[in-house]
Structure 1
Amino acid sequence: MKIKMCNHIDVSGIRIEASQSVYALCTVDENQFVTYSCKKCFNEIKELDHQIISKEEFEKYLNQ
């Protein structure tokens, strides 16, 4: 499972409110990846075969 982060997210430790974040499980050519992105990037996700998941579910993928 590939984990993809949005380029707009500041990884310096600044937290983005969860209400502004999108956690999704995307499928492209039968490959799945989990993505965490801001709403600015959500339109890109909408074009993919995707399923919105919770922050808790996303964190489970990170810990696998």
Structure 2
Amino acid sequence: RKALGLPRHLTPVCIIPIGWAKGRYGPTTRRPIGEVVHLDRYGHQPFRSWRADDPASSS
């Protein structure tokens, strides 16, 4: 709240950073999309077998 100047009666529910970090932060690799994306409800993972480095997955 302080960083964004939000009044006490407002509760942030989502913050989407835009831009580049000043320095190096976070993990150096990303988990596969199928491990982190759920569609419409928890547990429904239609991308579980999808791989970014597999051209056949994108068609």
Q: TM-score, normalised by structure 2?
A: 0.23
User: Whose RCO is larger (CA < 8 A, sep 6+)?
Assistant: 1
Q: Which is richer in helix?
A: 1
Q: TM-score, normalised by structure 1?
A: 0.23
Structure having the higher Rg: 2
